[in-house]
Copies of this chain bind each other. A is one copy, B any other.
Amino acid sequence: MEKYKICFREETPKYIQIAKNIKRLIDVGEIIDGEKLPPIRKLSVFLGVNNDTIVNVYKKLQGEGYAFLKMGSGTYAKKRDINKKILRDYSNIFKQITKEKYNEYVDFAEENPCAEFFPVNNFKKVINEVLDRDGVDALSYEETLGYRGLRNNISKYFWNEKIDSDRILIVSGAQQGIDIVSKAIVNVNDNIIVEKPTYSGALSIFKWRRANIFEVDMENGGINIENFEKILKKNNIKCFYTMSYFQNPTGLSYSYEKKKKIIELANKYDFYIIEDDYLSEIKYDKNIDYISFKAIDQWDRVIYIKSFSKIFLPGIRIGYLVMPSKIKDHIENSKINTDISTSSLMQRALDLYIKNGYWKNYISEINNIYKRRYEFMVNTLLSGLGNKVQFIRPGGGFSLYLKIEDFIEKNCIDLFYECKENKVLITPGVFFYKNSICGRKYFKIGFSKTDEERIKKGIEIINSILK
């Protein structure tokens, strides 16, 4: 108890002083993550304050993410994310680099497709066609589910009409998709499982929902099923968040067997699978078949999220969900509460873009371009960094996940800062884990915005830093 002692100063309310002290103890590690805080009565007696003061302290700590409440048990310490500094520095880079300066950088951090390959004229054509055809309707409210034409088209083009268009919900990008789904099905202290490592944007959402997050290691062919099932046996799990193809950041894809097994488990243990299909179209390896979780989802357990931003153009902000019928109304309400509906004009434009065949052409075109770049990247890595990093070849997508060999003492945070000094932008591995102790020997490099010359230059610089 001694560590909880404080000398109160007069000018500040006591509960603030007590909370401040506990936060300090958690930050410096004198109270460890998950440690039970003293019972309200005990601490109030010890500090000579009344019960209400401690109630307020614990409320404040909870509100600030320094503690959580287990009903019938008490209040527990929660370590705050110590990645905050690097996360801030990382996101600030992009704010700080002006358009003019950007060309001096090798940008391995960007994850979106390069705009220069996008046939903007086709897009202009469809926008004008839509405005001429639909007039003011193209700028009015759409029904919540989204523009019917687009939904029908998605059902036909992407699902062979096996998914009813009334179970498709148009959203403003995959990030909104994850947000809407998590608002619909994840409550405070619900248990969810994610891949380890996983997409940081999804982690943030689940943390904001104050869910309890379990991580299961990604391996070849998908997560470790044994560990997955262990967690399922012991905990009531609400959902499992997964990226079936070219998982972010590992680049790994699921085997058919693992997908099947996970769907069986979802049915047995009554949880949902949130499948984030963000990049399956960008596929270089012909041996990889495309079969989504949703396609083999016989028990209607999969919430499928598709982003068009990663493949198409990110400024368009369109994606869609396939909703299980049981929770369809719930997800629809969540969409209404989130932003009522998605931009009508953009939906109609995308609809026509797909109908006119532009979509198909564009995908096949960028696949060719990026395949060459991917191979160049792999070869340059092998020849330039092969003895310093390990990596698997994802066979698709826009990035590679590298492990710094153990004998090299550098971690990804130092590497990030030193690269930045040398005008090379990488993504440190620590972002992809629930706890910041993990991922320190990993980093991700993407090649969507770097031509061959830049790839060469960038790898050389990384090589010299890892020496």
A176 interface contact, C-beta 8 A? yes
Interface residues of A in 77-129 (CB under 8 A from B): 94-95, 112, 115-116, 118, 120, 123-124, 127-128
Residues of B contacting A458 in the complex (Cβ-Cβ under 8 angstroms)? none
Chosen A-B contacts, 19 in total, with CB atoms closer than 8 Å, are: A55-B72, A115-B139, A116-B136, A118-B136, A120-B139, A123-B131, A138-B315, A139-B313, A139-B316, A140-B313, A140-B314, A140-B315, A142-B315, A176-B338, A201-B336, A201-B340, A204-B336, A204-B337, A317-B344
Q: Give 3 nearest A-B pairs by CB, closest first.
A: A315-B344, A176-B339, A115-B136
Instruction: Name, among A40, A137, A141, A204, the residue most crowded by chain B CB atoms within 10 Å (CB to CB).
Output: A141
Residues of B contacting A344 in the complex (Cβ-Cβ under 8 angstroms)? 315-317
A389 interface contact, C-beta 8 A? no
From B55, B118, B138, B183, A208 is in contact (CB under 8 Å) with: B183
Q: Check if B112 sits within 8 Å of A139, measured CB to CB.
A: no
From B58, B95, B334, B345, A71 is in contact (CB under 8 Å) with: B58
From B137, B316, B341, B342, A345 is in contact (CB under 8 Å) with: B316
Complex Cα–Cα for A204 and B335 (A): 12
**Chain A residue total in the interface (Cβ 8 A):** 66
Complex Cα–Cα for A341 and B112 (A): 14
Residues of B contacting A343 in the complex (Cβ-Cβ under 8 angstroms)? 172, 315-317, 343, 346
Report A332 CB to chain B, min CB distance, Å: 10
Complex Cα–Cα for A342 and B341 (A): 13
The chain B residue sitting closest to A52, CB to CB, is B72
Residues of B contacting A69 in the complex (Cβ-Cβ under 8 angstroms)? 69, 71
What mask results when residues 334 to 369 of chain A are scored 1 for a CB within 8 Å of chain B, else 0? 101111111111100000000000000000000000
Complex Cα–Cα for A113 and B178 (A): 31
A187 interface contact, C-beta 8 A? yes
Residues of B contacting A297 in the complex (Cβ-Cβ under 8 angstroms)? none
Complex Cα–Cα for A139 and B317 (A): 9
A164 interface contact, C-beta 8 A? no
Residues of B contacting A334 in the complex (Cβ-Cβ under 8 angstroms)? 208
From B40, B59, B140, B342, A115 is in contact (CB under 8 Å) with: B140
Residues of B contacting A338 in the complex (Cβ-Cβ under 8 angstroms)? 175-176, 179, 338
Report A107 CB to chain B, min CB distance, Å: 13
A63 interface contact, C-beta 8 A? yes
Q: Check if A173 sits within 8 Å of B55, measured CB to CB.
A: no
Report A90 CB to chain B, min CB distance, Å: 12
A281 interface contact, C-beta 8 A? no
A143 interface contact, C-beta 8 A? yes
A51 interface contact, C-beta 8 A? yes
Report A362 CB to chain B, min CB distance, Å: 12
Report A45 CB to chain B, min CB distance, Å: 14
**Given that A40-B72, A124-B128, A175-B339 are contacting pairs, would A63 and B187 also be in contact in the complex, using a CB cutoff of 8 Å?**
yes
